[in-house]
Structure 1
Amino acid sequence: MANKHGEFNQKIDYVFKVVLIGDSAVGKSQLLARFSRNEFSLDSKATVGVEFQTRTLNIDHKTIKAQIWDTAGQERYRAVTSAYYRGAVGAMLVYDMTKRQSFDHVVRWLEELRGHADKNIIVMLIGNKSDLSTLRAVPSEDAKEFAQRENLFFMETSALESTNVEAAFLTVLTEIYRIISKKALVANDESESSGNSSLLKGTEIAIPPEPTGGNQSSCCMST
């Protein structure tokens, strides 16, 4: 039953699954809590298994339901990988900017992501805990260079202070929407000319080679 604002019977145009990956204790669950519920818990416990939160937002007058999945970063939960990545169109690859080891492991996480997920998945590299600037162990230049080399978006965030959390998720979701909507437009044009509506049923996301603005590199083009 809808409330007086009509939120429950709101038409959902797209559902985008986004996964959080990275070492344990880098703040993945806190980023999720901040984005989905605007909450932060100082006594957060390690995630066991898999959980997800949703948040509905509007992009370009379309209603997007973001389904954000979170899993434990510990090795013993690696068995969830194939199901965890299935259907994901975006990923937040998180490291703790005060722990160099968590950044060094980003390469391994990216390899796993690309081994299980769609090759054109949108990836945002996130250096979390930017509020602890005096304890910085990963220069932002190192992360920027890695992101540019791997065609990732990059932002530094603070789940504690709510810095760039919204911007990071919105960047990924907006980029996914831009690509999906452009693909649907092309499919519509082709189906009208050929009478073949099955083109709309494809799941592969094709990323056009367009330059992106600002300091972010173009995202996730396969080589």
Structure 2
Amino acid sequence: MAVDFTATYKMLVLGDSNVGKTCIVNRFCDEKFYDTYISTIGIDFKQKIINLDGMPVKLQIWDTAGQERFRTLTTAYYRGAMGIIVMYDVTNMDSFNHLSYWFRNIEENASPDLVKVLVGNKCDVTHLRQIERERGEKLADSFNIPFFECSCKQNINVQETFLALARLVRQERERRASKLDELERQQWEKGQLNTLEQNTTGNYRCSC
């Protein structure tokens, strides 16, 4: 019997070219790591059904191109996105310095309710590391978002990254639903009050 999935979370993976965006998607969705590097052209996506604390959730994960000439293609795909993994390569200082561009791009194109996670990839390549963990943590703290260092090759913190982002998406959805319920309650109470005032006014006029 088919399962009726009530929740589909659209997620984006952003960052410079060659930081490991495709690798983290493949590792998470297919549980595979490919040594050969093929640059993403435009955008691609995969889907995976996860068990999020006992509830089935479908993750739709969009893998975006990092090259400058394709960046204009990615802006349209912010529509409907609920969560973003912003990724850099701990062995590439330029990819870390360019994070300001990606966060600015998110701010300009994405919904203000969208949640984010910062990820430093290739933490297993210790001899080539250029960005210490503390710098990543400090940047994440400045945006008040979670931070992970991961390794797609060694499968370190890949599952944890996506699960953390999925939980943030769920929390934001619940917050928005609660806010909507409160607004509906206030509107209902206001409507009841208006009705009561109209009835009271009407009865007063009748008594005259």
Q: TM-score range by the shorter chain?
A: 0.7 to 0.9
1:95 aligns with 2:93: no
Out of 122, 132, 147, which is 1:129 matched to? Answer: 122
Query: Conserved in 2, the CA contact under 8 Å of 1:100 and 1:138?
Result: yes
Instruction: State the TM-score, normalized to the length of structure 1.
Output: 0.80
Code of the residue aligned with 1:100 in structure 2: it is M
Q: Distance in 1 between matches of 2:129 and 2:47?
A: 31
Code of the residue aligned with 2:171 in structure 1: it is R
- Report runs of 4+ in structure 1 exceeding 4 Å deviation: 192-196
Query: Conserved in 2, the CA contact under 8 Å of 1:91 and 1:122?
Result: yes
Out of 104, 109, 116, which is 1:116 matched to? Answer: 109
Q: Distance in 2 between matches of 1:183 and 1:118?
A: 13
| Counterpart for residue 57 of structure 2 | 64
Code of the residue aligned with 2:147 in structure 1: it is F
More helix by percentage: 2
**1:188–1:38 CA distance, 2 compared to 1 (3 A):** same
Out of 96, 106, 109, which is 2:99 matched to? Answer: 106
| Counterpart for residue 163 of structure 1 | 156
Out of 64, 72, 92, which is 1:79 matched to? Answer: 72
| Counterpart for residue 26 of structure 1 | 19
Shift of 1:59: 2.0
For structure 2, the residue ranges without an aligned partner over 5 or more in a row are: 190-208
> Alignment identity in percent?
32
Larger Rg: 2
Instruction: State the TM-score, normalized to the length of structure 2.
Output: 0.85
Code of the residue aligned with 2:20 in structure 1: it is G
1:143 aligns with 2:109: no
| Counterpart for residue 212 of structure 1 | none
SS across alignment from 1:184: helix
Backbone CA RMSD of aligned residues: 1.7
Shift of 1:192: 5.8
Shift of 1:186: 4.4
Query: Conserved in 2, the CA contact under 8 Å of 1:50 and 1:72?
Result: yes
Code of the residue aligned with 1:98 in structure 2: it is T
1:48 aligns with 2:53: no
Query: Conserved in 2, the CA contact under 8 Å of 1:27 and 1:128?
Result: yes
For structure 1, the residue ranges without an aligned partner over 5 or more in a row are: 1-5, 197-223
Query: Conserved in 2, the CA contact under 8 Å of 1:90 and 1:123?
Result: yes
| Counterpart for residue 17 of structure 1 | 10
